[in-house]
A and B are shown apart, each in its own frame.
Chain A
Amino acid sequence: MASGTTEFVVRRNPEMGPGGTLVASPTAPFDAPEPELGSETMLVNVGPQHPATHGVLRLVVELDGETVVSVVPRLGYLHSSFEKLGEYRTWNQIVPLTDRMDYLAPLIYNCAYVMAVEKLMGIEVTERCKVARVICMEMDRIFSHLLWLGTWSIDVGAFTPFLYAFQQREKVYKLHEALTGARITTSATRIGGMMADLPEGWAKGVGEFADNLPATLDEIDALLTCNAIHIGRTQGIGAISAEEAVNHGLTGANLRASGVPYDVRKDRPYYDYESYDFEVPIGCHGDCYDRYLVRMEEMRQSVRILHQALERLPGGPMDVEDPRISLPSKTDCMSDMESMIHHFKLITDGIPAPAGDCWFSVEGSKGELGMYVVGDGGPKPVRWRIRPPSFVNLSAIPRLSEGHLMADLIVINASLDIVLGEIDR
């Protein structure tokens, strides 16, 4: 067949030759220029009810073929108005609202909130309480990262790590239940202490969990870290430079994967974190694969902190010995008139906090979790603001995913480790 002729073979179906060239087609000669197809971008709605959006997140995606042109996240499907509700509750009554925000790491939220209020009130909690809260927070950091690891591996097409991770999560659920009676809605902290002292044998249970976790992590490591499919799906996907990551307000593992060693536990230490021996893993490419590596290593570092905290867990009282804050014992209330009145007043009136405002941030599992509380001298906050780490992290998703494929958008979303309860609040 010489070029330039109009001779062509008509077949029922177009066939592909080597290299994907069109050999023959019922409508167009193979050597004629490809027809100018009217090309337009397509809007695809992802979510809000889809497992790959990790909650009720809705992404309106503009696609050119399979390439993402723009992403517009739509939020608010889980908006619960926690900050408004907080203004109608006493300081202690807000605690149950906090764990409903990040149900993947409820104890970190419980602790962060009371730590901010305690700072506003000028309360120094007991040594035992400090170490107990460090144990709670590190345990829940692992708890949250394990869920991220499981759902992340499903999003890149691996199912087994999900099961391994959830076996370990179940142990933390049981520890939550032993500590507070609830598996997710823990509400474990109170201003000036915890809801109760640690139950007998609980610290030993945490120790066993910390002992067994690295073996599971090694197994998942072996399944994913050098897995060609996993590497192909994640390396070079959703990369962001250190400067841009800081500019977009990214925190937590997402920021550290870009090489910025900002960790609130190291940079603004609270609860003697400076005296614990642990390291902050950082990545150097800022892509999805580095975020995976950083979180895997963070779990191992949390195990180290857990071991050290369990070792130094002191005896003594859990709550501060301050009658303005701590409730009298149940026995006293039942036998002593003044104690009963005192108990009644503390419960019905609430604890007054001084006028003023206070910002306190901790290193949450998703990033820098800030609590901003404003008091006016009364028992209720004027304003209670949560600096939501995944809200700010998610705001970078248009920047991270534009130009990538639709399938990569799912991986990028998984790599950010978001929780919608906290984004929508």
Chain B
Amino acid sequence: MTPDSSSGGPFSGFDLVAAGPEGPREDAGAGSRERSVAPGNPTVTALRARFPDAFVRNEICAGDEDVVYVDPERVGAILGWLREDPDQHYDHLADVTAVDHGGGRPLEVVYQLWSIPHRSALRVKCELPLDALEVESVTGIWAGADWLEREVYDLFGITFRGHPDPRRILMPENYAEGHPLRKDFPLRGRFSRAEQTRRALTQNPEDHYAPGEIAERAPQVVDPADPGAGEGEGVG
């Protein structure tokens, strides 16, 4: 079978789009293609002009990736503007994550944005000091941020203000050892292996199948400075 004849099966009667990088895209003007390669990213310039007091700094990483550092207090407003402004229109929130550089340095919350119509990328970061790990949730702007923010909360302990379902997602809800991706979290966990085994064996299976699953639960927060505090309570 030649490559050409394999392109359509006997029943593939639906649209094919062949728009390559040079191909037309209705709402992307000719100029918008240059924006991601231009030395001064127009989004960064516009962002600085629109939010002069919240704009911290910008840099270019790995050759061509624009990174903008913003004030954590204004994250919701800035990302909302990036999503809604027709010239920016970053409609695809690719990722929300955090980076802990260790050594008491602030945690970075990282938003990877992509504009499907304009084909441009932007990375927005905000730095949170370790004693104020709280930032506004963007679930109201992108519904897809829901689980991504829950994961950041679960693994880093950053609270997202206004999140509709602020629970752990990957670790068990009654996990009492803290937030695993922080640099001060040891690879094998805070508790001894014997204590971890004891907790696993004494778990009540009923906990996992209770009707209360549907209802919202307050997240269990463990003070990382005092990991032993959670030792006596809960699971047994």
Interface residues of A (CB under 8 A from B): 43, 45, 60, 62, 70, 72, 74-76, 79, 81, 83-85, 88, 119-120, 122, 211, 214-215, 217-218, 221-222, 225-226, 244, 246-251, 260-262, 266-269, 274, 279-284, 290, 293, 296-297, 300-301, 303-304, 307-308, 356-359, 361, 368, 370, 372, 374, 376, 382-383, 385, 387, 391-392, 394-396, 399, 424-425
Contacts and interface: CB of A to CB of B under 8 A. Distances in A.
B101 A376 contact: yes
Interface stretch (B47-55, B72-80, B128-136, B168-176): B168-176
B143 A247 contact: yes
Interface of A is mostly: mixed
Contacts of A62: 214
19 contacts: A43-B213, A70-B214, A72-B213, A76-B169, A83-B181, A217-B9, A221-B9, A221-B11, A247-B142, A268-B119, A279-B18, A281-B12, A283-B14, A297-B12, A304-B4, A358-B62, A370-B94, A392-B147, A392-B148
Contacts of A246: 91-92, 116
A281 B94 contact: no
B146 A72 contact: no
A392 B65 contact: no
A31 B204 CA distance: 50
A187 B37 CA distance: 33
A248 to B, nearest CB: 5
B3 A356 contact: no
A266 B20 contact: yes
Interface string B76-91: 0000000000000001
Contacts of A359: 62, 65, 95, 112, 121, 123
Nearest to B93: A249
Closest 6 CB pairs of A and B: A249-B144, A358-B62, A395-B147, A225-B11, A307-B3, A261-B17
A182 B222 CA distance: 42
B63 A119 contact: yes
B232 interface: no
B214 A43 contact: yes
Contacts of B145: 249
A217 B153 CA distance: 43
Given A267-B119, A281-B16, A395 B146 contact: yes
A251 B116 CA distance: 11
Indicate the size class of the contact surface on chain B.
Answer: 35 or more
Nearest to B165: A72
A382 B182 CA distance: 11
Contacts of B91: 246-247
Contacts of B155: 83
A87 B174 CA distance: 25
Contacts of B19: 261, 266, 280
A60 B210 CA distance: 10
A284 B65 CA distance: 33
B170 A361 contact: no
Which of B99, B144, B155, B185 gathers most chain A CB within 10 Å?
Answer: B144
A269 B92 contact: no
A119 to B, nearest CB: 5
B62 A119 contact: yes
B15 interface: yes
A297 B14 CA distance: 10
Nearest to B123: A359
Given A247-B144, A372-B95, A120 B6 contact: no
Given A119-B63, A425-B170, A282 B15 contact: yes
B97 interface: yes
Contact of B20 (A85, A274, A382): A274
B8 interface: yes
Contacts of B10: 218, 221-222
B21 A266 contact: yes
Contact of B99 (A76, A383, A391): A383
B123 to A, nearest CB: 6
Nearest to A283: B14
B34 to A, nearest CB: 15
A249 B142 contact: yes
B180 interface: yes
A303 B8 CA distance: 11
B67 to A, nearest CB: 8
Nearest to A393: B144
B194 to A, nearest CB: 20
A60 B209 CA distance: 8
A218 B100 CA distance: 50
Contact of A75 (B123, B142, B169, B214): B169
Given A75-B169, A247-B143, A357 B6 contact: no
Contacts of B11: 221, 225-226
B7 interface: yes
A274 B213 contact: no
Contact of B7 (A221, A304, A308): A304
Given A274-B21, A425-B170, A249 B92 contact: yes
Contact of A88 (B142, B144, B187, B213): B187
Nearest to A281: B16
Contacts of A266: 19-21, 23
